[in-house]
Amino acid sequence: MNSAKLLDLMAEAKSVLEANWRGKSTIPSRYLYPHQWSWDSAFTAIGLSHLSQQNAQLELDTLFAAQWADGRIPHIVFNPEVSPREYFPSSDFWQSSSNGGPSSVETSGIVQPPIHARAALDVFRNARDLSLANEFLVGIYPKLVSWHDYLFRNRLEPGTKLVLTLHPWESGLDNSPLWDQALEGVTVMADVATSFTRRDLQHVDKHDRPSDDDYSKFVQIATDYRDSGYNDFTYVDSRQYAVVDPMFNALLAWSEEALGGIATAIGLDGTVHMERSRQLTENLVRHLFDEELEVFIAFDALTGDFSRKRTVSGLIPIVVSAMPMHIVRKVVETATGEHFSVASSKSWGVPSYDLLASDFNVRLYWRGPSWLNTSWLVWRGLYDHGITKIADTLLENLIELVARSGCYEYFDPITANPHGSKDFSWTAALAIDLLESKKASAGSE
Ligand code: 9WN
C-alpha cells in the first residue's frame, strides 16, 4: 500500500477517536454504544497512547474510577447525560449503585475480558513523559491487582481452576457459537421476554445483530444476576449460565504477565503475577486445549460439557508468552489452514468462526465476521512468539482491510464488506497501533 494511503488511514483513524472522545474517556461508537465500555477502553487506550499519553492514561483512569468495592471493573460505565432510551439495558436496568456498585457513577454489574493491565503496560511503554507514566502506573497498579483478585476470588471454577464468565456479554464475543450449547439451557420468564425494547436495531441492520431469542436470554441472565445483588456466592444456586471461556482466561494470563512487568517497572516484586500466569496457562492447556480440533474450546460449568467449536476465542491463547511452543504451533496451523485462512488471500483479518462450519455467517455478530480487536490479539500472539512472517502478512492484511472498508465495527472476512457501526473506536485505535508497528519495523530494518 502506498504511503499516501497509509497517511489517509492514520488521519481517518485519528478523527474517529477525536469524534468519540468525551472529555475523560471514549465511547465505542456514536451510533450504537454511547457510554464507556470496559475492554473497548483498553484497546482504545493502546491506540491513544500513540497520539496523546495524557488521554490514554485518562481513558484507563476514568474506567478504574468506576471500580466496585469488590474489585470488579464493570463492563459499562454510564454517561448520565445520555438518555436511557439511547441504549438498552440502561443504568435503570442494572441498578448498580444500590447493589454494591460505586455511588459516584452508574455502571452495569457484569464484567468484560481483563485486558487492562496489558493496555496499561502498552501505554507506559509508548509514553514520552516518563515521570507522568510512572505516576500513572503507581496509581493504577493496586487497582489492577484488585480487579484480578476479584476474578480469582469470586469467579474461580473449582474443577479447571480457571475463571468463569457469568454472561455471554462478559466474553466480549456476545453471540459466539461457543455459547450456544450453554444458552440452550436458559429459561426465559414471560415477564422478562416482554419487559424491554431493543435499541440496537434502530441503528444497525437486524441481520448483523443477535436474534430476539438470544437477546431475551441475555436479558434473563442479567436479570437473575442483578436480582442476586451481583453476589457471586449466593448466586451459585440460581445460575443459568456459567462458562469457562478460553479467551477470557488467556487475556487474564497475558495481563498477569503484564502486571509482572508493571510491578518490576515501579520497583516491586512481580513474581506472584508470573506464577499466576503460569498456573492459568497450565490449566488452559490441560483443560481447554482440544487435541483433535487443535484449538482451545469452552467448558460449561453447569453441565460439565465442552463446547467443541473452532472460534477465534480458541486461537487467542497464543498471546500468552508462557504458552508452550508446541501448542502455539498447532494453533497457528489451525489459524492459517482452511478453517480460518489467516494471512492468506482467502480471508480478511481473522474470522470469528470456522469458515467451514455449516452455520458460519459472513455478517452475523461474532458468528463469522472479522473484528479488528480479536485479529489484533492473534497478530500480537504471532508477533510475540517470533512467528514474524505470518504476523507481518496479517498486519498488512489488517491495515489494507481498514484502509479499504473504513473504521467499521466488523467486516465480512471474504469480501471485506463493512458491517455494524461505523466510526468504531477500537478499529481506529488498533489500526493506529498497527500502523505504528509497521513504521517501527520499517525503521529498524
Ligand atoms: C454488549 C461495545 C460492545 C463490545 C462487545 C460487543 C458489543 C454490547 C452489545 O459492543 O456488546 O456489551 O450491545 O452488543 O459484542 O464486545 O464491548 O463496543
By DSSP bridging, strand 76-77 and strand 156-157 are unpaired
pLDDT > 90 in the chain, percent: 91
- Reduced to 3 states (helix: H, G, I; strand: E, B; else coil), residue 311 is strand
Ligand 1 midpoint to CA 39 (Å):
9
- Reduced to 3 states (helix: H, G, I; strand: E, B; else coil), residue 296 is strand
Q: What angle do CA 282, 341, 369 make, to 5 degrees?
A: 90
pLDDT > 70 in the chain, percent: 100
Cβ neighbours of residue 38 closer than 8 Å, sequence gap 6 or more = 63, 73, 74, 75, 76, 77, 111, 112, 116
Ligand 1 midpoint to CA 444 (Å):
37
User: Which atom from ligand 1 is nearest to the alpha carbon of 112?
Assistant: 17
- pLDDT of amino acid 407: 98
Cβ neighbours of residue 119 closer than 8 Å, sequence gap 6 or more = 41, 42, 43, 45, 46, 60
Residues with CB under 6 A from ligand 1: 28, 33, 37, 39-40, 75, 169, 172, 174, 200
**What single-letter DSSP state applies at residue 109?**
S
The residue assigned the cell 461474532 is 366
Ligand 1 pocket: which of 29, 33, 430 to mutate (most atoms <8 Å of CB)? 33
- pLDDT of amino acid 301: 98
pLDDT at 1 over 80: no
The residue assigned the cell 489452514 is 337
Closest CA to 298 of 136, 134, 181: 181
Could you read off the pLDDT of 77-108 as tens digits, one per residue?
Answer: 999 999 999 999 999 999 999 999 999 999 99
pTM of this structure: 0.97
Give 132-199 as a DSSP string. Answer: HHHHHHHHHHHHHHHHHHHHHHHSEETTTTEEPBSSGGGGS-TT-GGGHHHHHTPPPPHHHHTS---S
pLDDT at 131 over 70: yes
Split at pLDDT 50, 70, 90, the class of 194 is confident
Of 1-5, 96-100, 331-335, minimum mean pLDDT range:
1-5
Mean pLDDT, the chain, rounded, equals 96
Q: By the 8 A CB rule, do 352 and 370 touch?
A: yes
Distance of CA 418 to the CA centre of its chain: 20
Residues 210-233 have a mean pLDDT of 95
pLDDT at 261 over 80: yes
Ligand 1 midpoint to CA 172 (Å):
6
Q: Give, using CA atoms, the residue closest to atom 8 of ligand 1.
A: 169
Ligand 1 midpoint to CA 329 (Å):
31
- Catalytic residue list: 174, 409
Q: Give, using CA atoms, the residue closest to atom 4 of ligand 1.
A: 172
Residues 57-81 have a mean pLDDT of 98
Could you read off the pLDDT of 290-300 as tens digits, one per residue?
Answer: 999 999 999 99
d(Cα 13, Cα 30) in Å, to the nearest integer?
14
Q: How many residues does the chain have?
A: 445
Residues 126-132 have a mean pLDDT of 98
The residue assigned the cell 488521554 is 55
- pLDDT of amino acid 16: 98
Ligand 1 pocket: which of 20, 43, 115, 169 to mutate (most atoms <8 Å of CB)? 169
Closest CA to 160 of 274, 246, 72, 255: 246
d(Cα 220, Cα 223) in Å, to the nearest integer?
5
pLDDT at 406 over 80: yes
Q: What angle do CA 4, 122, 25 make, to 5 degrees?
A: 80
Split at pLDDT 50, 70, 90, the class of 445 is low
Ligand 1 midpoint to CA 392 (Å):
28
Could you read off the pLDDT of 425-443 as tens digits, one per residue?
Answer: 999 999 999 999 999 988 7
Side chain identity, residue 216:
S
- pLDDT of amino acid 199: 85
Q: Please give the residue that has the higher pLDDT: either 331 or 200.
A: 331
**Does a cis peptide bond (omega within 30 degrees of 0) precede residue 113?**
no
Could you read off the pLDDT of 13-44 as tens digits, one per residue?
Answer: 999 999 999 999 999 999 899 999 999 999 99
Q: What angle do CA 172, 177, 183 make, to 5 degrees?
A: 85
Residues 53-65 have a mean pLDDT of 98
d(Cα 280, Cα 320) in Å, to the nearest integer?
10
Could you read off the pLDDT of 343-396 as tens digits, one per residue?
Answer: 999 999 999 999 999 999 999 999 999 999 999 999 999 999 999 999 999 999
H/E stretch holding 430 reads helix 425-444
Q: Give, using CA atoms, the residue closest to atom 12 of ligand 1.
A: 169
